[in-house]
Structure 1
Amino acid sequence: MTDREYADDTEREHASRLAQARHAIAVEHPLSGLPPWSELAEQERLEAAATAALYLRAGRRAGLFPFDADEPVMLSVKQPSGEAMSRDDFEAFLRRMMGDQRGERLPVLDYDETHVVASLLDELAARFAGERLGWLAREMAVQMYDRIGL
């Protein structure tokens, strides 16, 4: 996993900490024969952290621990100050944008493209179920499905 494959610096840090903790537990076993974390090659530490990042994501997806409400939405969405935007702030921004921009409806997508976008919105809704951003994604997916008769 390269730096670009982590959601953000926080995920990279958490994955590294989880990998170190998991390795420390393994080293504690008297017959492990494993060297301490500090003696692992850089590539071994990077691979352990990449695996740990996948376990962090799986734990979140399984609902074992919640996402932090202040977790950035994505790296490309920022506050005007340049700081990451929370998902709730992003949802509010999108709703304001839709409310402010009630103009002429444009036929931009064909049937198949609309179906694809609605399916992606449904996936986003499932990913953020129980959160404002997830509710907005579901509302938009339903509107798009309605427009194509599904």
Structure 2
Amino acid sequence: MEGACGAWSAGQGARAALLFRTARLLARARFARDDRRHATVSANLGLIALSRGQGARGRRHLERALRAWDRAAPDLERLRTAPRSRSSMFHLRMEARHRETFQANLALRMGRFAAETRETITLRLAGKPTPHRHLTRWRGEKPPYFDDTRWFLAACLLIVES
């Protein structure tokens, strides 16, 4: 997905479409049906189709993305992360003592990302521009560790900007 988004940003539309179709095949083979990453692939395929003037195809993909996003498992409650390295013993102890609070704040923050992504899909389906940045935010938000936060943010932010 990241490579496909990069190809799109570099003006390589055909390569991006091929990589997104490959990502769709991988998602079908590896992820549960209620995984939000299915919606992300469909949204990207829809946005590419719309940019090519293929309105009907683009809307079908975006409708599929919206259905997939809405049927996704309530995964915010089950997001789990390993304790992070902290810059001081104080912060490390604070996280250890208040793990539930850290998890609640994480779920709240990820919920905001999810709401923005759903809004983006809905607005683009209606032919309207979106006020949200996704791909450019991924570059800044991308966690350096591979846990639930990373896959969830990938589902929310690896969307091409058109």
Bin for the TM-score computed over the shorter chain: under 0.3
* Relative contact order higher in (CA < 8 Å, ≥ 6 apart): 2
Greater helix share, structure number: 2
Larger gyration radius, structure 1 or structure 2: 1
